Amino acid sequence: MNARISDIFHRLAIVSLLPLLTQFCESQNSDEAPLVPEVETVKIETALLERTVEKGATVSYLEKAAVSAPMEGTLEDIFVHEGHRVEEGQPMAQLKTLELELALKRARASEASARSQWRLSDTQFHEAKRESERYIKSLDTARANVVEARTQFMNAKNNLQNKKQIFLLGGVSEMEMKQVYSSYVSAMTRYYQAKKNLENQTIGYRKQDLQEAGYEIPKESQNQKKALMELNTRTDARRAEAAKSAYESAVIQRQAAEQMLAEATIRAPLTGVVATRGKEPGEEVKPGEPFLTVVRTDELLITTSVPETELPHISMQQLAVVRADVYPNIEFEGEVHRISPVIDPKTRTFQVSVIVKNDEEHPLAPGMFARVKIKTRSIDRAISIPRGAILTDEASDNRIIPGQSVSVFVVRNGHAFLRELEVGEVFGERIQVLKGLEQGDMVVTSDPSLLKDSMMVRISSPDNQQSEERSSEE
């Protein structure tokens, strides 16, 4: 009886200790099974990396022309208004031209008079040259006359001497002697007269005259004659030259009058759109005071300020994409057209202008606000990782230097292994990897600083991860 009661108590004690044993076993089991953290990963694939600069910008005109009158005058008419499209050379306004037309008539009359005077002076010059040539030839005749007169004089002199001897011998009468003497005197007179005439005629046609006029005496006789002709016709030549200069001046005055009359019709300096009109017909205009403005709109500039750190990556003719606020779903393609070499010391930015062709269906206008995106760098088939995959302590200042070594966790067989990488350039939130990763590697992207090397991990949403892997493989 006692033994039975003791067995019952033992059984009751075991039943009462059973929950405690169960709790102890559970606590032992929980201590032995470690916690496995869930991590997010990305599968490494090669892809195109692009770096872009996107900034707010303002639309402005590529060319602007302020149109003013070339002379003082009164507007007779204006042919355009704001918004009118004009072609280069198209008439835009007209000045009153009565005074200009009268000035042109006077200039043409002066030109005709000067032309006549020049022709007359030129004719007189050529006539003087011919006369000088004839005169030089007449000098040859005069010299021949002198020679002939001297010959006759010498013959008369010899005849006189002979007759004189005969007369002394009584062979010649006194009357005949007087006749011979008279012939001698006549021959002598003619000789000295011809000689004197030649001396008078050669004044101005002597070598002495050439020397006094500063001419170099030519050695050849023909050239001496040309020099003498030039010497004796230079007054007529200068008169003809002066008349020619007066005529050329009159031609210039006539051309200037025609030009002023033509400029009274004010034309568009470029193809574009009339932006402003500040005068009305009948009002006075002056040079240098614009009353019309034309801007070119077939091509426009999109101007923005870019941080100075991007200066090495911006170059002429880089491709750019522009979006205007008024057309949020339309992209305008362009290229870098201007790069300012000056950095603003306050904002640490520099000006960049992108040129785009205007769209007739979606026209842009100067003054509009836009956003411009410039592609500054691209690498094809590059391996990269998100910035968040790098251990926080190694990228705490968010500055990644090309060639720098960083660490990431790569998941393999359910464990996260610490791996050191060499990184390249930064492309926004993506960082190029130069060494350390291969295609297909699974890199942890969620809180890598909480992991330890070789720690067991579990990839979150495995179904989604597998589907993403399959889609990437396809």
**3-state percent helix, strand, coil for the chain, nearest multiple of 5:** 45, 30, 25
Q: What is the pTM of this model?
A: 0.56
Predicted pLDDT at 30:
43
Amino acid identity for residue 465 in this structure = Q
Predicted pLDDT at 32:
47
CA distance 338 to 119: 59
Q: What is the average pLDDT across 30-41?
A: 71
Q: At what angle do helices 98-168 and 174-201 cross, to 10 degrees?
A: 150
Predicted pLDDT at 211:
83
**pLDDT, tens digit, for every residue of 350-398?**
999 999 998 888 998 888 999 999 988 888 999 999 988 898 664 445 6
Q: Are 92 and 267 in contact (CB under 8 A)?
A: yes
Predicted pLDDT at 139:
84
Q: Which of 30-34, 233-237, 309-313, 443-447 has the lowest mean pLDDT?
A: 30-34
Predicted pLDDT at 338:
93
Q: What is the average pLDDT across 192-202?
A: 88
Predicted pLDDT at 378:
83
Res 146 pLDDT > 60:
yes
CA distance 18 to 360: 88
Q: Which of 21-25, 302-306, 468-472 has the lowest mean pLDDT?
A: 468-472
User: Domain coordinates of the chain in residue numbers?
Assistant: 38-48+379-473, 54-61+296-378, 66-94+265-293, 101-257
> For the chain, what percent of residues have pLDDT higher than 90?
50
Q: What is the average pLDDT across 137-163?
A: 89
CA distance 23 to 17: 10
Say if strands 85-86 and 46-61 run parallel, antiparallel, or are unpaired.
unpaired
**pLDDT, tens digit, for every residue of 64-113?**
999 999 999 999 999 999 989 999 999 999 999 999 999 999 999 999 99
Average pLDDT, rounded, for the chain? 85
CA distance 106 to 100: 10
Predicted pLDDT at 27:
44
Predicted pLDDT at 172:
80
Predicted pLDDT at 397:
52
**pLDDT, tens digit, for every residue of 388-424?**
889 866 444 567 888 889 999 999 999 999 999 999 9
Q: Are 93 and 77 in contact (CB under 8 A)?
A: yes
Predicted pLDDT at 393:
62
Predicted pLDDT at 444:
93
Q: What is the average pLDDT across 175-182?
A: 88
Classify domain 66-94+265-293 by CATH number: 2.40.50.100
Phi then psi dihedrals of residue 456, to 5 deg? -75, 135
For the chain, how big is the Rg over CA atoms in Å?
A: 57
Classify domain 54-61+296-378 by CATH number: 2.40.30.170
**pLDDT, tens digit, for every residue of 225-269?**
888 888 888 889 999 999 999 999 999 999 999 999 999 999 999
Q: What is the architecture of the domain spanning 38-48+379-473?
A: Beta Barrel (2.40)
Predicted pLDDT at 205:
83
- Same-fold call for 54-61+296-378 versus 66-94+265-293: no
